[in-house]
């Protein structure tokens, strides 16, 4: 079985430290399947006991099964032609990590969650998008994209608008919340109000893959991977993975809709 198929149902259970171990594992799969548990645990700066606990938590019976499945996944992936194989390996580390983050985001995307959301989208709900800071620019593109598809999209741009917008949310609508950290207090407060007053509107969070408050309040959580970067205390973390997720959801919805005809 594929490594990512096994871990997908268990990612939400991980702590922040365990997510960091997972991030290391995904980025170093080519080396890990030939290493023993002591070597991998040392690379992750944890004990062998902690690493074995992580292995079992993500869905494996032990380290042997863990490395066997990784080896199978790596070999299977290498047997398929990929566009990334043609990239110049002398690129900067950032370019390499940038591509890896997008690849990880797509790999761990849960098809069952996407199918459930596609089912909800068949009813042509209003789509609300809540985002702040740098995430707003990704949200603006998503607003444009989903509007072109025929959805009524409401994207409140400032704090006052965000506080007022939830008043018109109905039980058939879908609310998307974009927040990489998953711990923004304003958005958490708004989500709590929505959950208490909006009679079962579906709440979808798009956050980093750590255990965070916004994902725990959501009906569906979609994970993104990205290296956190700031410049002079300004967050410039890439939000391309958020756009990738929302594009893939829309493309899957189009296929899903065709199958219903």
The CATH number of residue 169's host domain is 3.40.50.10490
Q: What is the CATH number of the domain that holds 68?
A: 1.10.10.10
> Domain check: are 135 and 254 in the same one?
yes
> Domain check: are 28 and 149 in the same one?
no
In a domain, 58, yes or no: yes
Whether the pLDDT of residue 85 is over 60: the answer is no
Max mean pLDDT range (84-93, 142-151, 159-168): 142-151
C-alpha closest to that of 129 among 211, 250, 246, 209: 246
In a domain, 163, yes or no: yes
> Domain check: are 76 and 119 in the same one?
no
> Domain check: are 52 and 161 in the same one?
no
In a domain, 97, yes or no: no
Whether the pLDDT of residue 145 is over 50: the answer is yes
> Domain check: are 49 and 134 in the same one?
no
Residue 198's pLDDT is 59
> Domain check: are 234 and 129 in the same one?
yes
> Domain check: are 115 and 225 in the same one?
yes
C-alpha 74/C-alpha 239 separation (Å) is 27
Are the C-beta atoms of residues 44 and 18 closer than 8 Å to each other?
Answer: no
Last residue of a domain, one of 80, 100, 123: 80
In a domain, 64, yes or no: yes
In a domain, 240, yes or no: yes
Whether the pLDDT of residue 46 is over 70: the answer is yes
Instruction: Specify the pTM.
Output: 0.68
> Domain check: are 123 and 202 in the same one?
yes
> Domain check: are 150 and 72 in the same one?
no
**What's the whole-number mean pLDDT along residues 39-65?**
90
Residue 88's pLDDT is 37
> Domain check: are 150 and 25 in the same one?
no
Whether the pLDDT of residue 84 is over 80: the answer is no
Residue 203: domain span: 111-260
C-alpha 68/C-alpha 71 separation (Å) is 5
In a domain, 88, yes or no: no
Range list of H helices, the chain: 3-7, 16-27, 29-32, 37-43, 48-57, 63-78, 93-107, 111-121, 135-148, 159-165, 185-197, 213-217, 240-260
In a domain, 89, yes or no: no
In a domain, 7, yes or no: yes
Domain count, the chain: 2
> Domain check: are 248 and 152 in the same one?
yes
Last residue of a domain, one of 64, 80, 96: 80
């Amino acid at each position: 079985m594929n490594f990512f198929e096994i871990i997908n149902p268990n990612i939400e259970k991980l702590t922040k430290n365990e997510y960091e171990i997972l991030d290391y594992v995904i980025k170093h799969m080519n080396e890990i399947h030939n290493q023993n548990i002591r070597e991998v645990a040392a690379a992750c700066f944890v004990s062998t006991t902690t690493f074995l606990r992580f292995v079992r938590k993500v869905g494996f019976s032990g380290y042997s099964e863990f490395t066997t499945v990784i080896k199978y996944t790596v070999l299977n992936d290498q047997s398929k032609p990929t566009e990334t194989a043609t990239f110049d390996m002398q690129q900067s580390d950032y370019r390499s990590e940038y591509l890896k983050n997008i690849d990880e985001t797509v790999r761990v995307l849960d098809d069952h969650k996407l199918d459930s959301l596609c089912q909800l989208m068949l009813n042509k709900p209003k789509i609300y998008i809540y985002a702040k800071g740098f995430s707003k620019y990704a949200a603006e593109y998503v607003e444009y994209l989903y509007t072109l598809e025929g959805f009524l999209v409401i994207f409140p741009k400032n704090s006052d608008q965000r506080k007022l917008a939830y008043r018109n949310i109905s039980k058939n609508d879908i609310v998307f919340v974009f927040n990489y950290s998953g711990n923004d207090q304003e958005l958490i407060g708004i989500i709590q109000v929505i959950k208490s007053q909006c009679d079962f509107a579906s709440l979808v969070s798009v956050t980093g893959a750590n255990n965070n408050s916004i994902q725990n309040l959501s009906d569906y959580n979609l994970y993104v991977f990205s290296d956190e970067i700031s410049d002079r205390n300004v967050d410039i973390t890439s939000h391309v993975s958020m756009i990738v997720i929302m594009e893939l959801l829309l493309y899957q919805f189009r296929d899903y809709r065709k199958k219903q005809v």
